[in-house]
């Protein structure tokens, strides 16, 4: 399997809702290098976003980045446990069979 297979699996997660750190969230985007799922808090009040000087600037939903692999250099690569609730068993098995590119770490 290659990076196209990885992207195919991760694209299936976009729009999916789930729990992260006890908060309802939705998968909204992918970062490719290193493979990372970007999720946004939903159904909760927005948090305050600070500017570069620490002053309150705007209200926004919380965002998290969940890296797909903890150690991509291992064979098979180790999937980040925080990502597992977002995956079906078949998706998790497929991600374990992919040896991702080593760039960006």
pLDDT in the model for residue 61: 77
Go through 18-47 and write b for each residue having 16 or more CB atoms within 10 A of its CB, e for each that does not: eebeeeebbbbebeeebbbbebebeeeeee
In a domain, 50, yes or no: yes
Q: What average pLDDT does the chain have?
A: 83
For residue 105, what is the enclosing H or E element?
none
Contact yes or no for 79/8 (Cβ under 8 A): no
pLDDT tens per residue, range 7-57? 899 999 999 999 998 889 999 999 988 899 999 998 766 666 677 887 777
In a domain, 105, yes or no: no
Q: Into how many domains does the chain fold?
A: 1
In a domain, 104, yes or no: no
pLDDT in the model for residue 50: 72
Q: Structural domain of residue 77, as residue ranges?
A: 3-97
pLDDT over 70 for what percent of the chain?
A: 83
pLDDT in the model for residue 103: 52
In a domain, 76, yes or no: yes
In a domain, 14, yes or no: yes
In a domain, 7, yes or no: yes
Indicate if the alpha-carbon torsion angle 13, 19, 21, 24 is positive or negative.
Answer: positive
In a domain, 102, yes or no: no
**pTM check: above 0.85:** no
């Amino acid at each position: 399997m290659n990076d196209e297979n990885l992207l195919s699996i991760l694209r299936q997660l976009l729009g999916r809702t789930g729990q992260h750190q006890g908060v309802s969230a939705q998968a909204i985007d992918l970062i490719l290098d290193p493979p990372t799922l970007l999720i946004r808090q939903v159904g909760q009040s927005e948090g305050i976003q600070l500017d570069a000087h620490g002053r309150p600037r705007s209200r926004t939903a919380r965002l998290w980045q969940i890296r797909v692999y903890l150690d991509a250099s291992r064979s098979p690569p180790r999937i980040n446990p925080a990502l597992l609730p977002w995956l079906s068993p078949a998706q998790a098995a497929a991600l374990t069979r992919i040896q991702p590119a080593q760039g960006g770490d």
